[in-house]
Amino acid sequence: MSELLQFLFSGVTVGAVYALVALGFTIIYNASDVVNFAQGEFVMLGGMITFAAHAAGLPLPLAAVSAIVLTAGLGVAMNKLAIEPARGAPVVSLIIITIGASIFIQGAAQIVFGKQIHSFPAFSGDAPIRVAGATILPQSLWVIGGAVAVFIALWLFFTRTLLGRAVLATSNNRLAAQLVGINTNFVMTLSFALSAGIGALAGVLATPITLTAYNVGIAFALKGFAGAMLGGMGNPKGALVGGFSIGLIEALTAGYLSSTYKDAAAFVVILAVLFFMPQGLFGRKSTDRV
* Interaction of residue 107 with other proteins, rule CB under 8 A: yes
* Interaction of residue 209 with other proteins, rule CB under 8 A: no
Please tell me the distance from the alpha carbon of residue 157 to that of residue 168, in angstroms, as a whole number.
Answer: 10
The region of 3-11, 43-51, 143-151, 261-269 touching other proteins under the rule CB under 8 A is 261-269
Contacts of 179 (CB under 8 A, 6+ apart): none
- Integer angstrom CA distances of residue 88 from 32, 83, 94: 10, 10, 9
Is the separation of the CB atoms in 105 and 46 below 8 Å?
no
- Of 59, 179, 275, 285, which one interacts with other proteins (CB under 8 A)? 275
* Interaction of residue 124 with other proteins, rule CB under 8 A: no
Number of residues in the chain: 290
- Of 111, 132, 162, 180, which one interacts with other proteins (CB under 8 A)? 111
Please tell me the distance from the alpha carbon of residue 59 to that of residue 102, in angstroms, as a whole number.
Answer: 29
* Interaction of residue 225 with other proteins, rule CB under 8 A: yes
- Of 55, 117, 152, 264, which one interacts with other proteins (CB under 8 A)? 264
Please tell me the distance from the alpha carbon of residue 38 to that of residue 218, in angstroms, as a whole number.
Answer: 8
Torsion sign (Cα): 31, 78, 157, 179: negative
Task: Write the single-letter amino acid at 110.
Answer: Q
Shortest distance in whole angstroms from residue 18 CB to other proteins: 14
* Interaction of residue 285 with other proteins, rule CB under 8 A: no
Smaller CB separation from other proteins, 182 or 218: 218
Give the footprint of other proteins on this chain (CB under 8 A). 35, 37, 82, 85-86, 89-93, 95-97, 99-108, 110-111, 218-219, 222, 225-226, 229, 260-261, 263-264, 266-267, 270-271, 274-275, 278, 288, 290
